[in-house]
């Protein structure tokens, strides 16, 4: 992984982050990847070998523990703090009876305030919502670009999530196709970005990428 560093002047001071794709190939299997922080102590995020990965052999895996108490699990990329840009990731929902989801987090302020794009293979849904004061609130799309197919979010296959973040305007892509747009100005300042799963989901992630504007 290259180490190109950019500086961003964003509402109160400089922040730095890497703009290359993070492929989880510089850590050890069974451990947390470097420069990432799990928001919850009950989350089990670890580097895992998966030879089906487009960036094989290693991926970032989230596995629910036996004593799971929380309904969501977040992990944050510590080297990115920005307002506008693009965030994308490849993900593969592997297992889960209640949920089988993966998602992107951006403009993260604290565990109770951030945006999420969530793709669930059980419900076959792609939804953007905000977590505000700990409450999860779905955000209605402004417009849709195409009709969702019968099986939009497949299980045990790699797909691509991507969101363009421009002020209060967000454009959502799935497998490189624009799906819908959302307008919301609740969190207008910069924040961290990262990954998300829900409930008993077992999900693999690869090729996480941040492109600031």
| Adjacency order of strands within the sheet including 135-138 | 36-38, 72-82, 191-198, 101-110, 113-120, 125-132, 135-138
If we measure between CA atoms, which residue out of 109, 79, 118, 135 comes closest to residue 188? Answer: 109
What pLDDT is stored for residue 63 in this prediction?
Answer: 77
The Cα 58–Cα 48 span in angstroms is 5
Which position has the token pair 């996480």? 208
Report percent pLDDT > 70 for the chain: 83
Task: Supply the CATH classification number for the domain 5-212.
Answer: 2.60.120.560
Q: How far is CA 30 from the centre of its chain?
A: 20
Which position has the token pair 């008993």? 200
What pLDDT is stored for residue 145 in this prediction?
Answer: 63
Q: How far is CA 52 from the centre of its chain?
A: 20
**Strands 58-62 and 14-18: what pairing?**
unpaired
What are the pLDDT digits (tens) for 131-144? 999 999 999 998 76
Answer whether 12's CB lies under 8 Å from 53's CB.
Answer: no
What are the pLDDT digits (tens) for 62-117? 877 554 555 789 999 999 899 999 999 999 999 998 899 999 999 999 999 999 99
Whole-prediction pTM: 0.87
Domain extents in the chain = 5-212
């Amino acid at each position: 992984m290259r180490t190109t560093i950019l500086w961003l002047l964003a509402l109160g001071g400089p922040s730095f982050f890497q703009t290359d794709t993070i492929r989880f190939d510089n850590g050890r299997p069974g451990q947390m990847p470097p420069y990432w922080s799990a928001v919850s102590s009950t989350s089990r995020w670890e580097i895992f070998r998966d030879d089906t990965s487009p960036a094989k052999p290693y991926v970032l895996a989230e596995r629910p523990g036996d004593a799971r108490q929380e309904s969501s699990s977040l992990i944050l990329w510590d080297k990115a703090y920005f307002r506008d840009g693009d965030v994308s990731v490849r993900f593969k929902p592997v297992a889960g009876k209640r949920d089988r989801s993966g998602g992107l987090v951006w403009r993260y302020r604290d565990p109770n305030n951030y945006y999420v794009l969530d793709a669930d293979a059980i419900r076959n849904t792609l939804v953007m919502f905000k977590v505000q004061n700990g409450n999860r609130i779905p955000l209605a799309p402004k417009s849709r670009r195409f009709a969702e197919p019968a099986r939009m979010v497949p299980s045990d296959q790699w797909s691509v999530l991507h969101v363009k973040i421009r002020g209060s305007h967000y454009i959502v892509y799935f497998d490189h196709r624009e799906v819908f747009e959302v307008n919301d100005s609740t969190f207008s300042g910069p924040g961290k970005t990262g990954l998300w799963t829900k409930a008993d989901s077992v999900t693999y992630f690869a090729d996480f990428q941040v492109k600031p504007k």
